[in-house]
């Protein structure tokens, strides 16, 4: 793995221009998430030794949390120790006000008023005061707090981040660091993925072998472990690698989170993803042996006793409303062959393995309800019948979320295509190895958790959003930070700010500012890419392609050429759309203090002969990856690095189309781009066959293009396959043949010249 890019990016953080006297200049207001109402005024509230603070939340605990964090922040930001108010005339005041909820119209909202002389933060709830405090921190500039009026409240009550500590373990100090950062962005749920096949990470008194054995393995990192046979070990083995949280560690994390108004939700996986458990307690899978299946035996009453005993200890440690029980990706195969499971199905009248899983989840839900807890599970728990009061965490396609919402269940949206932070965030070839996918900041930010066709009542059960940090390819803390930041800011804003107020251009500016802040906190945030997004659309009236460019970095200038030459600081400045009449090789790069102007984005834009022509599909498009349907391969748009970017079109059979050029003409070049990414089963076609026809009935083959790329090559490959020559034709039949792996074929455009 290329780790050299993970070196902390050190930048001097300049939070504003220092002016001796600045009563009238404007503040920056770089608040993430964007407040609902923010009225900016000129001038600042200055923070000096005379600043006095009074916090009146109504409880000593909350007063002390706010006072403590405020003192630390102001001291580190301004080198000032503020006074505690003794005269009943504070200059910074926090107070509980029962009317604020009514005024802002939502729970946990807050109001901030900053004048030149006074700062007032008020809320009806402790959490609201805490959120007001975070906004105040983010408003602070070198000159003080810019004058303003804010009325703010969350869009969703659940705003979460998940962390997988099974695949790679992260010590509690790292969790504290994440909780600090989460609270700064008003995230309020930490979903702790404590158990999975790669290691059990929480001490359970009644089953000590879970930590003596199931927390230990051969191989330090997940990758080492998984590529050397996925073998478990024992704490007594001197070559063992393992770690877990003691109960004391868990209590510390829960307390640290509570002090930041974050609820910690434990996840104990069942019935699948439990290979490590059966290394320690093999009697609970169907085979009674380790290294056989990943699933608990549902026919065995002992499995329920075991899991309930574990849940008892977990519930004692975690005051959270929810316990997450996993429920995802059970293999289920063992249940088919298991006599006990088959008997269970017969006795309970269960028709299939999904219903058998559902039987287990419902029993566990009953148990949790008896302990005053609510069950939360991945969206597989919808299959086979949802437990009556379960909350669903939607990660796959939205059908499961929609089913649950229609049934009146609460749903938390964690869509894999947007919110999985183990996915690449920039050009995969240049990034540390990731699991796949492609979810750059703009894509994460673009997600809006809602569905067309549901009633407002059904939609009201979408209770929030969460980013998931799976760690198979994230072995270190530094790397985890790199994958989480700044993408988590986009999730935080989606969870808090009304969709109508979200704005990518404005968020981009604020996110860039916050990268500087995060670096001062020792967080190895990804400094964003120097690559430029090239967005192409068709102007069918003028018969041209219109190209828009976008950068993640801010502030920068984009300069470009259209003749394939490298950009310099005198190349054309990108100000408005670029209009392409025929074919250009666009080269663009960024210019600015934080940009690398020698990092060139190159993209050929082809306003070719087939654009806008009729395409007939002889074999179907895959329903999950339709792009824009039957015009997608002739719309001038070339795909990016993710097959799910809406431009790439997918096929689970051969691609077989006929393009009608409307009249017979000379053709000299035809090509298409195809993708290979073997993890999710995307393969290059074995061959590209081209056929010509004048009448659309009789076709003659004129090309058969193959390639040398191996179906085992694990890297992301985007391969041009094409033909050059001379032919007269009106119709072109394009056949991309499946390779022997029979996975997906993905294509973005068939270019005809
Ligand atoms: C999951 O990604 N298996 C929830």
**DSSP assignments along 647-682, one per residue:** SSEEESS-EEEEEEEEEEEEEEEEEEEEEEBTTTTB
Kindly give the distance from the C-alpha atom of residue 491 to the centroid of ligand 1, in angstroms, as a whole number.
18
What CA–CA distance (Å, rounded) separates 213 from 210? 6
Measured distance CA(524)–CA(480) in Å, rounded: 8
Average pLDDT over residues 689-704: 98
pLDDT digits (tens, 9 = 90+) for 590-624: 999 999 999 999 999 999 999 999 999 999 999 99
pLDDT tens by residue, 92-109: 999 999 999 999 988 999
Q: Output the residue whose Cα is nearest ligand 1's atom 2.
A: 395
- Nearest ligand 1 atom to the CA of 395 is 4
Question: Are the C-beta atoms of residues 561 and 597 closer than 8 Å to each other?
Answer: no
Check whether 21 has a pLDDT greater than 60.
no
What's the whole-number mean pLDDT along residues 690-719? Answer: 96
Global pTM value: 0.94
Query: Can 196 be counted among the known catalytic residues?
Result: yes
Q: What is the per-residue pLDDT across 582-594, written as a single tens digit (0 to 9) for each?
A: 999 999 999 999 9
Span 349-382, pLDDT tens digits:
999 999 999 999 999 999 999 999 999 999 999 9
Contact 419 CB / ligand 1 (< 6 Å): no
* Confidence grade of residue 663 (pLDDT, cut at 50, 70, 90): very high
Whether 400 is in the pocket of ligand 1, judged by its Cβ within 6 Å, is no
Tokens describing residue 220 = 């330090």
Domains and CATH numbers, the chain: 3-152 (3.30.379.10), 158-207+243-520 (3.20.20.80), 530-607 (2.60.40), 610-753 (2.60.120.260)
Q: Is the CB of 378 under 6 A from ligand 1?
A: yes
Can you tell me which atom of ligand 1 is nearest the CA of 393?
4
Supply 698's token pair. 């009789």
Closest CA to 153 of 128, 187, 120, 189: 128
SS3 track for 516-562: HHHHHCCCCCCCCCCCEEEEEEEECCCCEEEEEEEECCCCCEEEEEC
pLDDT at 18 exceeding the cut of 80: no
**Atom 1 of ligand 1 has which residue's CA nearest to it?**
328
The 8-class DSSP code of residue 88 comes to S
What's the pLDDT score for residue 715?
Answer: 87
CA of 718 to the centre of ligand 1 (A): 27
> HSE on the CB side for 347, CA within 13 Å?
10
Q: What is the pLDDT of residues 233-260, one digit of tens each?
A: 999 999 999 999 999 999 999 999 999 9
Q: What angle do CA 503, 506, 512 make, to 5 degrees?
A: 130
Q: Average pLDDT in the 22-47 region?
A: 90
Element at 418 (helix H, strand E): helix 416-419
pLDDT value at residue 105: 84
- Regarding the beta carbon of 329 and ligand 1, being less than 6 Å apart is answered yes
With a 6 A CB cut-off, is 395 part of the ligand 1 pocket?
Answer: yes
Question: How many angstroms does the Cα of residue 208 sit away from the middle of ligand 1?
Answer: 27
Report whether pLDDT(22) > 90.
no
* Non-local CB neighbours of 28 within 8 Å, separated by 6+ positions: 16, 141, 146, 513
From 161-165, 471-475, 476-480, 713-717, the region with the lowest mean pLDDT: 713-717
Closest residue by Cα to atom 3, ligand 1, is: 328
In sequence order, the 6+-apart residues with CB closer than 8 A to the CB of 151 are 35, 36, 37, 103, 104, 109, 111
Distance (angstroms) between ligand 1 centre and the Cα of 188 equals 21
Does 354 qualify as catalytic in the annotation? no
Question: For position 87, what pLDDT does the model report?
Answer: 78
Q: Please tell me if the CB atom of residue 328 comes closer than 6 angstroms to any atom of ligand 1.
A: yes
**Is the predicted pLDDT of residue 714 greater than 90, yes or no?**
no
- pLDDT score of 9: 27
How many Cα atoms sit within 13 Å of 715 on the Cβ side?
A: 12
pLDDT at 573: 98
Confidence grade of residue 6 (pLDDT, cut at 50, 70, 90):
very low
Mean pLDDT of 313-328: 98
Q: Which one of the listed residues 103, 328, 329, 539 is annotated catalytic?
A: 329
The Cα–Cα gap between 142 and 206 comes to 54
For residue 416, report the distance from its CA to the centre of ligand 1, in Å.
8
pLDDT at 2: 31
Chain-wide mean pLDDT for the chain?
Answer: 95
Q: What is the mean pLDDT of residues 1-15?
A: 28
From 191, 273, 409, 479, the catalytic residue: 273
What SS3 state is found at 194? coil
Query: What pLDDT does 26 receive?
Result: 84
CA–CA distance from 694 to each of 613, 619, 659, 698, 731 (Å)?
Answer: 16, 21, 12, 8, 6
Q: Of 267, 294, 329, 418, which is best to mutate to test ligand 1, by the most ligand atoms within 8 angstroms of its C-beta?
A: 329
- Report pLDDT digits (tens) over 273-283: 999 999 999 99
Distance 97 CA to ligand 1 centre (A): 42
Which atom of ligand 1 sits closest to the CA of residue 273?
A: 3
**pLDDT score for 89:** 85
Work out which ligand 1 atom sits closest to the CA atom of 420.
Answer: 2
pLDDT, one tens digit per residue, over 84-94 is: 977 788 899 99
What distance in angstroms lies between residue 528's CA and the mean position of ligand 1's atoms?
26
Q: Residue 439, SS3?
A: coil
Q: Tens of pLDDT along 181-220? A: 999 999 999 999 999 999 999 999 999 999 999 999 999 9
Number of the ligand 1 atom closest to the C-alpha atom of 468: 2
By three-state DSSP, how is residue 470 classified? coil
More reliable by pLDDT, 644 or 139? 139
Q: How far is the CA of 328 from the centre of ligand 1 (A)?
A: 6
φ and ψ at residue 422, rounded to 5 degrees: -85, 0
- Using an 8 Å Cβ cutoff, are 368 and 323 in contact? yes
Q: What is the pLDDT of residue 24?
A: 53
Q: Which residue has the tokens 């695949």?
A: 167
pLDDT of residue 13: 28
Pairing label, strands 745-752, 423-424: unpaired
CA distance 702 to 509: 52
Which pLDDT belongs to residue 12? Answer: 28
Beta-bridge mates of residue 588: 560, 601
Q: Is the pLDDT of residue 463 over 60?
A: yes
Is 329 an annotated catalytic residue? yes
Q: Is the pLDDT of residue 708 over 50?
A: yes
Residue 246 has a pLDDT of 98
Q: What is the C-alpha end-to-end distance of the chain, expressed in Å?
A: 40
Separation of alpha carbons 370 and 351, rounded Å: 27
CA torsion, ordered 570, 574, 577, 581, to nearest 10 deg: 20
19-47: average pLDDT: 84
What backbone torsions phi and psi does residue 587 show, to the nearest 5 degrees? -125, 130
Q: Of 97, 108, 141, 196, which residue is the catalytic one? A: 196
């Amino acid at each position: 793995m290329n780790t050299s890019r993970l070196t902390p990016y050190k930048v001097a953080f300049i939070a504003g221009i220092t002016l001796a006297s600045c009563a009238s200049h404007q503040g920056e207001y770089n608040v993430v998430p964007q407040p609902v109402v923010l009225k900016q005024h000129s001038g600042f509230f200055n923070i000096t030794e005379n600043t006095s603070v009074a916090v009146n939340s109504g409880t000593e605990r909350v007063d002390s949390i706010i006072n403590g964090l405020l003192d630390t922040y102001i001291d580190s930001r301004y080198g000032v120790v503020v006074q505690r108010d003794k005269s009943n005339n504070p200059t910074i005041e926090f107070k509980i006000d029962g009317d604020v909820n009514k005024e802002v119209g939502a729970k946990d909202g807050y109001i901030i008023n900053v004048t030149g002389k006074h700062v007032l933060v008020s809320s009806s709830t402790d959490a609201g005061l805490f959120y007001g405090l975070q906004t105040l921190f983010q408003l602070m500039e070198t000159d003080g707090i810019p004058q303003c009026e804010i009325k703010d409240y969350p869009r969703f009550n659940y705003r979460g981040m998940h962390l997988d500590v099974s695949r790679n373990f992260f010590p509690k100090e790292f969790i504290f660091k994440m909780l600090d950062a989460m609270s700064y962005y008003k995230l309020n749920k930490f979903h702790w993925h404590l158990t999975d096949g790669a290691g059990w990470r929480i001490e359970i008194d009644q089953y000590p072998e879970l930590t003596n054995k199931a927390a230990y393995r051969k191989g330090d990192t997940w990758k080492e472990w998984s590529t050397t046979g996925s073998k478990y070990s024992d704490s007594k083995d001197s070559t063992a690698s393992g770690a877990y949280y003691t109960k004391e560690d868990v209590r510390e994390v829960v307390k640290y989170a509570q002090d930041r108004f974050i609820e910690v939700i434990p996840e104990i996986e069942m019935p699948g993803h439990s290979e490590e458990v059966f290394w320690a307690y093999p009697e609970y899978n169907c085979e009674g042996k380790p290294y056989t299946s990943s699933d608990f035996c549902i026919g065995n009453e002992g499995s329920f006793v075991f899991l309930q005993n574990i849940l008892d200890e977990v519930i004692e440690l975690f005051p959270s409303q929810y316990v997450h029980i996993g429920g995802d990706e059970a293999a289920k195969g063992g249940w088919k062959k298991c006599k006990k499971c088959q008997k269970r199905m017969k006795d309970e009248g269960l028709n299939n393995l999904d219903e058998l899983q559902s039987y287990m989840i419902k029993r566990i839900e009953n148990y949790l309800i008896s302990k005053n807890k609510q069950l939360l599970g991945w969206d597989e728990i919808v299959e086979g019948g949802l437990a009556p009061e379960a909350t669903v965490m939607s990660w796959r396609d939205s059908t499961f979320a929609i089913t649950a919402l229609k049934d009146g269940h609460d749903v938390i949206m964690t869509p894999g295509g947007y919110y999985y932070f183990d996915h690449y965030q920039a050009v995969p070839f240049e990034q540390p190895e990731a699991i796949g996918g492609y979810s750059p900041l703009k894509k994460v930010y673009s997600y809006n958790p809602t569905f067309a066709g549901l009633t407002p009542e059904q939609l009201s059960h979408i209770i929030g959003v969460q980013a998931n940090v799976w760690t198979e390819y994230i072995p270190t803390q530094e790397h985890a930070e790199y994958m989480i930041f700044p993408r988590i800011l986009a999730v935080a804003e989606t969870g808090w700010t009304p969709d109508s107020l979200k704005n990518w251009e404005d968020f981009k500016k604020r996110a860039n500012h916050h990268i500087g802040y995060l670096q001062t906190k020792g967080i190895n945030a990804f400094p964003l890419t120097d690559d430029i997004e090239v967005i192409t659309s068709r102007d069918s009236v003028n018969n041209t392609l219109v190209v828009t460019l976008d950068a993640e970095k801010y502030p920068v200038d984009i300069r470009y050429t259209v003749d394939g030459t490298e950009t310099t600081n005198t190349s054309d400045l990108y100000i408005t759309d670029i209009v392409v009449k025929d074919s250009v090789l666009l080269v663009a790069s960024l210019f600015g203090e934080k940009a690398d102007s020698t990092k060139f984005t190159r993209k050929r834009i082809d306003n070719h002969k087939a654009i806008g022509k009729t395409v007939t599909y002889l074999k179907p498009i895959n329903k999950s990856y339709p792009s824009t349907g039957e015009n997608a391969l002739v719309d001038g748009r070339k795909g990016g690095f993710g097959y799910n970017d809406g431009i790439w079109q997918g096929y689970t059979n051969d691609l077989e189309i006929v393009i009608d050029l409307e009249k017979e003409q000379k053709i000299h070049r035809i090509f298409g781009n195809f993708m290979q990414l073997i993890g999710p089963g995307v393969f290059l076609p074995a061959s590209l066959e081209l056929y010509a026809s004048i009448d659309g009935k009789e076709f003659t083959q004129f090309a058969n293009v193959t390639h040398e790329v191996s179906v085992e090559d694990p890297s992301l490959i985007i391969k041009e396959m094409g033909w050059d020559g001379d032919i007269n034709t009106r119709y072109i039949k394009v056949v991309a043949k499946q390779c022997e792996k029979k996975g997906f074929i993905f294509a973005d455009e068939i270019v005809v010249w």
